[in-house]
Structure 1
Amino acid sequence: MPSPQAVLREATDRRLLEEVVTRGRVTRAELAATTGLSKPTVSEAVRRLTEGGLLEATGAQETGRRGRVGTFYELGPAAGWVLAIEVGQSGVRAWSADLAGAVLREHERPAGAEVAAALLSIASEAVTQAGEGILRAVAVSMANPVDPGTHDVIALPDSPFPEGLMSPADTLAGVVAAPVWVDNDVNLAALAEQRAGGAVGVSSFAYVFVGPGLGVGLYLGDRLIRGAHGLAGEIGYLPGAGSGTLAAELAAGIGGPDAPSNDVETALRMLDNGDTETLGCAVARAVASVTAVVDPELVLLGGPVGCHPALLEPVRAALPPSPTRLEYGTLGTLASLHGATYSALEHARAAAVRVMSA
């Protein structure tokens, strides 16, 4: 077990690394001022981070005054990079990003290819293009529920994405040496909206995904709620207005009683043509089921159908009176990929400091 001093040093180093990432380029004096840490503590931490390659000195601060000149620091050459991957019915997409979150390269394999092969191909491509850079973490967004303890994908009846019932960690084991973190796409979309989207500063909100399937990401009390088994938010299995489920009701409203649950293109055409009542009422029932149970401050609509500009007002009109606000998510159909990036970055920064301190 590490000593209390080692734990404190690691926490200090992590805090300063996060501050450099946020500010981009900063002096030790600025770090001391913004964190409230003493100048000697900051100087020692910056020395450790610089010697570990996570930071580098990039020039003198021009103050225009006599006296000691400060030195700017920013992310160093050994900071490494992360890989965020989204696996869904539209294909496999990925971003390689540095530890500040700047996207370095984009990767994509369209739908139709075997999912595991597409995932493996993208990871191999990203590692090859990165050269000698250190891959710190991989985060994979899956269009299926994921066990929060084991990161295994969970099979559910009538899954709209049966091709995604696979183990990303096992698939990538021979290609990436970094830890692989796996989460549900709706959870990651909610994470992204909380970090940099429509739910910034909101402690309790729900993200309702409408697309190939129906699901909810829940943030309650500033915590992402996954449930004991990773099944929190699987509202598509709730009873609908008839004898079927909410997901079946939504699918039937789009294409008839025998329609598949993933008929996104038909739903988008309906909305384009002004046929909004059926979808609006079905989505409103899903939203009402969430607000009645958890009473969030805000509900965001997302997913390829949920983001359609014609859907919001019909859903509002069909909802019973409630103090909960209903808005669109602001990150669009890339929300889960943004969420995977944030997840990878959080794990990568912690791991980079931990390895340096070892």
Structure 2
Amino acid sequence: MGDFNQAVILDSIRRSEEGLSRVELAASAGLAAQTVSNICRRLLDNGLIVEAGKETSGPGKPRTILRLNPRGMYAVGLHIDPSRTSYALLDAVGTVIFSQEEATDLVGRPADAVAAMGATVRRIIAESGVDEQRIAGVGVATPGPLDAAHGTVVDPPHMTGWTRVPLRDILQESTGLPVVIEKDVTAGAVAELWAGGADSTADFVYVYVGTGIGAGLVLNDEVVRGSSGNVGEIGHIIADPDGPTCDCGRRGCVKVTCMPETIVAHAREVGALPAVDPLSPKPLAEDLEALAHAAAAGNPAAAEVLAQSARRMAGVVSVLTNLLDVERVVFGGPFWPALAASYLAQIPPVLSQLSVTTCVHSVEVVGTIVSSGEEAFGAACLVMEKTFNPTAAQLLLGAKP
């Protein structure tokens, strides 16, 4: 209960841009004034919060405003995508102090590649000048499926040979820090919840568009992870009944109709993009950006490729929103920027038509508020979430941290 109450206080302070007094904290959290005072004293002693001046509102003694101490805690984020690996170092208020990215090593042994990632984390910490004692841990976002109990990535698509790779153990050994591992879609949902502040919607679906496509889920302000931590596998939802055959035996699954690589392949088939140059193939991200530029410049074939993709994705999203009754759909991920203009223009009206709750509430469709290229921000937020966000699990006797 003490851990839960502390998390409630920290989360309340974090969500308030102007800070809160002890009196306001007691009122918002529903805790006794003495309990709030004791918790705040511990947080002040540990350097997680600071007193930030006094405020007078009516008669009585001025109230001392409490805010998060940006230098009170740090977290490192590591985002692994089949195409690129990115890193970020965050302070306690979510400011990115350092970030970098590099091509993901899929040629060497996976264990060696992960150990090299750990060495990069160590170098980033050393060069930042941050007090290592203030670093709460390393958050890792990776394609699924995961074996969360053992901290291993099982057999992610597009990452041949990465079978049962013990990510958590290797990184803990190479960095000397606690490591939290989640699927990339879950990390994206956590980042959206974390960055949204007090105005964030309590219920939303986060659609991650990377080399693969998945969905994260937030209900009642809490990230849903599923029984094994593998929530959000939407690759076999049917997006087009007349589409290509999937390896599952059905036709038109997300896996064969909506992935960035299938969008680019379709664009080549209809002449919206040139054929692949075998001597100088372009990265997938560049091809997708070229397709978006062509559509924006008035190329009808390019525009139709993206429109078809948007219609298919709208059908997929409608399955999720009708099942879960959420108020918002958030798109994000490394390849989202190239698709944003087309998707944001064309998905909302189709989703409204397919939604069963239209007469009760609308479903907002937006792009992520996390900057493109900062997917590692979400990974670092996994560490922050464990510290700041109160969850029901903290109230269970014998619950593991």
Q: Which bin holds the TM-score, normalised by the shorter protein?
A: 0.7 to 0.9
Kept in 1: contact 2:154–2:162 (CA 8 A): no
Aligned residues: 340
The residue that corresponds to 1:255 in the other structure is 265
Is 1:211 equivalent to 2:232 in the alignment?
no
| Superposed CA offset, 1:221-264 (max 9, x none) | 5553444344433333445512234333343442258999x833
Shift of 1:149: 3.8
- Give yes or no for contact 1:205–1:220 (8 Å, CA) kept in 2: yes
SS of alignment partner, residue 244 of structure 2:
coil
In the TM superposition, 1:233-312 aligns within 5 A as 233-238=232-237, 241-244=243-246, 245-250=253-258, 251-255=261-265, 263-274=284-295, 275-292=302-319, 294-295=321-322, 296-308=326-338, 309-312=340-343
1:356 is matched with none
Contact kept in structure 1, 2:151 and 2:167, CA below 8 Å: no
Aligned to 1:330: 369
Q: Output the aligned Cα RMSD.
A: 4.0
Q: Deviations over 1:19-50 (max 9, x none)?
A: 44444655444544554544433333333333
Residue of structure 2 aligned with 1:111, choices 103, 125, 128: 103
Shift of 1:168: 2.8
User: What is the SS of the residue equivalent to 1:235?
Assistant: coil
Matches of 1:97 and 1:89 in 2, distance apart?
A: 23
* CA 1:82–1:306: 2 relative to 1, 3 Å: closer
5+ long unaligned stretches in structure 2: 247-252, 270-274, 296-301, 356-362, 395-401
SS at match of 1:216: strand
Q: Which residue of 1 aligns with 2:125?
A: 127
Report the Cα distance in structure 1 between the residues aligned to 2:102 and 2:141, rounded to whole angstroms.
16
Which amino acid in the other structure matches residue 245 of structure 2? S
Superposed CA offset, 1:286-334 (max 9, x none): 4313423551443333334433343223445776922354433333535
| Structure 1, unaligned runs of 5 or more | 1-6, 354-358
- 1:198–1:329: 8 Å Cα contact kept in structure 2? no
**Conserved 8 A contact 1:141-1:185:** yes
- Superposed CA offset, 1:81-120 (max 9, x none): 22222222453322222333333x2132411556424421
Secondary structure at the aligned position of 2:227 is classed as coil
Rate the CA distance shift 1:336–1:162 in 2: closer, same or farther, 3 A: farther
**Separation (CA, whole Å) in 2 of partners of 1:334 and 1:273:** 22
> Which amino acid counterpart does residue 151 of structure 1 have in structure 2?
G
Mapped to 2, the partners of 1:10 and 1:221 lie a distance apart of: 20
Match of 2:187 in 1: 188
- Bigger mean CA offset, 26-35 vs 117-126: 26-35
Q: Which moved more, 1:193-202 or 1:116-125?
A: 193-202
Alignment of 1:41 onto 2:80: no
The question of whether the paired residues in 1 share the 8 Å contact of 2:328 and 2:366 is answered with: yes
2:290 aligned counterpart, secondary structure = helix
Relative to the length of structure 1, the TM-score reads 0.75
Distance in 2 (alpha carbons) for counterparts of 1:78 and 1:314: 43
**Percent same amino acid at aligned positions?**
24
Q: Which amino acid aligns with 2:293?
A: D
Secondary structure at the counterpart of residue 224 of structure 1: strand
* 1:3 aligned residue: none
- Residues 34 and 293 (structure 1 numbering): CA distance in 2 closer, same or farther, change over 3 Å? closer
- What residue identity is the alignment partner of 2:384? L
Distance 1:77 1:279 in 2: 42
Q: SS in structure 1 opposite 2:133?
A: coil
Note closer, same or farther for the CA distance 1:29–1:249 as it changes in structure 2 (3 Å cut).
closer
